[in-house]
Amino acid sequence: MKKTYRIAVIGGGSWGTAIAHLLASNGHDTTLWVRNRELLKVLEEKRENILYLKGIRLNSRITFSNDIESSMENRDIVTFAIPVSFLRGVLRGIKKKPEGIVVSLSKGIEIETFLTPSEIIKESLGVDECNLTALSGPNFAKEVAQLLPTATVVASKNKDSAKTIQDAFSSSTFRVYTTDDVRGVELCGAMKNIVAIASGISDGLKLGLNARASLITRGLAEIVRLGKRFGAKSETFMGLAGVGDLILTCTGNLSRNRSVGLRLAQGEAIETILKSSKMIPEGVSTVRAVYEYSKKISVELPITQEVYKIIYEGKSAKEAVKSLMNRPLKEEYYLL
């Protein structure tokens, strides 16, 4: 018989809500913390997240809370599903570090520090590395909530922690693999959003399927190039957190970052796009963090550079394409 756990999910966006629904469907005692009091009221009355995950009737085992401290109390597992730009702010409000295993679901990099989400959690809460994990993969929240077949990977330096999360999250519709490459998994999860914006720009300009495939492939080369500088493992790039998530985010219609690219290609200003978006496209801030850091460590990331210039310097998408296509010719190689 499958073991049941007491789990807190911190974050009432689409991803946090989907994971809470999955965990409750797995039979776990699940609490979902939401900041927005109005949303909390709706969740309690309708058992549906009408803002971020409309149309999904949430499992009856989920309890909802607006008190972050009580949500985390006496939990075997605490899962954080907070956008990276807000993560540190939410963590500042937590007075006592979690007692159980911590799972980071966020995908991005903090601009000021170039820290990954699990590193922000470790620094802010003092969580021991053996209790820290990161989960990432080709996982659209809506499809996870619909309990459609999905695979993902959980990373931890501690095998027991990874196996506990694997056991808790896995089901007949959600298959979890394990790895010890935390940095690689999180870096892939962050950088694929940059390539997804580029892919959306390519599709928005109607550059064709050849262009999209080429862009995804060379985007992977940039992920590998930066990842190897941080000691990421080669197999991570070829796995679910790497090429798996990259393909999904660059091609799927549910991708927020790809949608940003589509709109940028039509000439919309990034400010307009962000104001009209209910959910945060992490690639917008991630591209700034990666671009600025790549200059410091002298790593060549041409796609990242052009996406940055489109978003932050007002360069036209068409000019960015020209810049990429007219770069000096070279031999193809991967640092795998």
Q: Which two tokens stand for residue 58?
A: 């949430």
Choose, from 46, 107, 163, 192, the residue flagged as catalytic: 192
Task: Calculate helix-pair angle for 182-204, 209-229, nearest 10 degrees.
Answer: 150
Number of H helices, E strands in the chain: 16, 8
Distances from the Cα of 133 to the Cα of 80, 86, 301, angstroms: 10, 19, 28
Q: What are phi and psi of 124, to 5 degrees?
A: -80, -40
| Token pair for 279 | 């959910």
Using CA atoms, how far apart are residues 142 and 11, in angstroms rounded to an integer? 15
Task: With H, G, I as helix, E, B as strand and everything else as coil, classify residue 100.
Answer: coil
The answer to whether the CB of 14 falls within 8 A of the CB of 49 is yes
Find tokens 């770069």 and name the residue: 327
Q: Dmax of the chain from CA atoms? A: 60
Least Cα distance to 287 among 264, 266, 267, 268 occurs for 264
Query: Is 233 part of the annotated catalytic residue set?
Result: no
The helix/strand/coil state of 195 is helix
For the annotated catalytic residues, the residue numbers are 192
